Structure 1
Amino acid sequence: MEKRTDSRDRTDPAKDKNRDRRVRFYDRNSLEDMDWPNTEDGRYARAYLEPMVMQGTRDFMINVSTTLLIARIDDLIFPLTVNEAEYDNSYVCSPYTHYVRYAKQELMLLRKPLLEKGLSALLSVVGWGMQQSQINKVVHINNWLLSTNLYPAMSGEQAVCLLAAVRERYPEHAVVFRSLCPGLHSDLTEELKQAGCQLIPSRQIYLYRANDPNFGNAKSRWLLKRDHELLTKHGYEFVSEANLTEEDIPRIAELYKLLYLEKYSYDNPQFSEQFIATAKASGALTLYGLRKEGRIDAVMGYFCRNGVMTTPLFGYDTAIPQSIGLYRMLSACLIGQARENGLLLHESAGAAQFKRNRGAVSEFEYSAVYERHLPWGRHWCWLLLERLLNRVGVPLMRRMKL
């Protein structure tokens, strides 16, 4: 089949003879040859990635089956995930799960039964076509296997160079950068677009500019103060990682499962106890909890990169009455941590009205997808996604304030 090329394509391997000297790839067999950068990001990457590369991802995330590699460009480290099909995977490395199976589960948020039924049928048809076109034959760049992938201080030129190297190494795969937000990554999104990537919407996310002391209004500040006062009212203590022990790890895993898996979706990454223990020991996640009478009832785990903070581990005991306000308390503590550290808080998706009321602002998050080198039978599904989501999905989410 004929492959698409045009004058915008800046990923041709022949166009950059220096690329091989700048970009290196490492797998479990060559990881011992890695010269880890002695930087904050380099040390973090080693602590987080090395165990998963050596042991495999499923010991840490039960529903993530992928080949995990590490790419180094200049002094920056990026995890790469390589997939062939794996349609039962979590959405973190399965476009099919993200755009079809998870999307079907989210339709209930519309609260419009006829519209939900029609869109579900459309997703079923589109999903069948996606499988036929091998949409999951994909390499994700900077994929930390979390709901939100934070980016280091990376230039657009470095992103395009890395893209070209990955394309050369995996000529039969689509190449994807997840978790790109134009408000945070204007240089990356513009350079990748100029290099021939499509920007495909993935979700509406919320940003809380805790690094700005004047951010928010009087109402949002009052709500946050009220939420935080619930800790004293209900006898909860906000405990740091130093007060969380190995004995708390099963409870932490249970609390995440109760919220993110049982209440939301089992297509979220399913963290194992080993993942939580390793992240705690290495400092890959900073853990805090809400403890009452010796028992942890809510937990959060966050990490920071390049002035941005996000919380991939978040959970609470859903059997405790909603009137107690565990979600409100934990969210107030999270914003407090972002303020203490002077960071912009990436609050991911969901609970839209709650986050808006407390001062968060919405942005759309995109995946930059490079598929121009693939035959028509492989890339048409990406083109369809781009058209459907930009012309129908985004306006619908804006109108419904999801």
Structure 2
Amino acid sequence: MQTELAPEFKGTADGEEAEAILRKCVHCGFCTATCPTYQLLGDELDGPRGRIYLIKQVLEGKAPTRSTQLHLDRCLTCRNCESTCPSGVQYGHLVDIGRKIVDEKVPRPALEGALRWTLKEALPSPLFGPAMKLGQSVRGLLPAKLKAKVPAPQPAGAWPTRSHARKMLMLAGCVQPSMAPNINGATARVLDAAGIEAVIAPTAGCCGAVKFHLNDQDGGKAQMRANIDAWWPFVEEGAVEAIVMNASGCGVTVREYGHVLRDEPAYAQKAERISALTRDLSELLPELVPLLKDRVSALPGVFAYHPPCTLQHGQKLRGGVEVNLRALGFDIQVARNESHLCCGSAGTYSVLQPELAYALRDRKLGHFDQLRPTAILSANIGCITHLQSGSGLPVRHWVEVLDEALRS
């Protein structure tokens, strides 16, 4: 795609990166066939190719409008288009640049801006945990829409006390410890059973995704640098062999620290090292299966598995959960239709774009109904919470089921 940058973007990091991405696009339109919002709305500007044209126009000097902003807002950043694209267009990076530039030029309505500010400040805040506990204490009295965002209280279970020679860092996360604390506990117990100690750096916090994708990119980068500072002593000393992620949304972000911080002399090399050490929990399964096989009593029933977009499209990790859990005796099924499509969670998307998010959720749950499962499994706290809000079945992280099978 031929592009001529406007003078204000020539020679800038964002402009040069965006131009390089745009030049890979060949207008083929394959991306529209796998774009969730295009499937729902049928509007070219609500598909990747249309959004690419909008961003190109802005970079070439055309003034963006409120309509431009809305079309970019409606993108889930699921990156399904990247999996489909034959030319390797890095659409996720491009849309981050486009949103940043458009938001600088197009003021948002006051209420919309206030909601976005509240989300980016509240979710990673230390006050989120107490606020969630308060919400859970009055959950039965909450309106249905708010109740859907407040999961029932859940015990975290016992944390392993054994020490092992093999150690891996684990990011506790910002919302997961409050919304689904058993996920972290289950991860630590499963690793412990395989002779691996899960280590949490006490000063590590939010991965930075919430702020970064709500166009507070400076705030997101500050959180990324803080995590690197928290993890670096462990990495520098060789005390850990990996950084394991049990939330694929966090995992895809940490894997991109090296890219996001590449122009910062004090952090570029450290960020690259952190990204290289990051592993999704599912990547450990081939090693864990032979260690745990004789100790697992697979739970009965059919489990419908939803692979998060941040896992299958962002990190390009497909099939690992299904194949390895089946090797442990679980009946894991994936919907035959549209298993590649987003469930509509997409971080804060279900709050900011509820109509589209719930339409995608119900579409996904409809495909699961055909499997007649006893439970739904996933690998990301956002997907789990969003799917649970519309399903009468339990929705869990797959590691929780593995943990339960070990303990049984």
Quickly name the TM-score band, shorter chain normalised: 0.3 to 0.5
Q: Which has the higher contact order (CA 8 A, sep 6+)?
A: 1
TM-score for both structures, normalised by structure 2: 0.32
Query: Which structure dedicates a bigger proportion of its chain to strand?
Result: 1
Query: Which structure dedicates a bigger proportion of its chain to helix?
Result: 2
TM-score for both structures, normalised by structure 1: 0.32
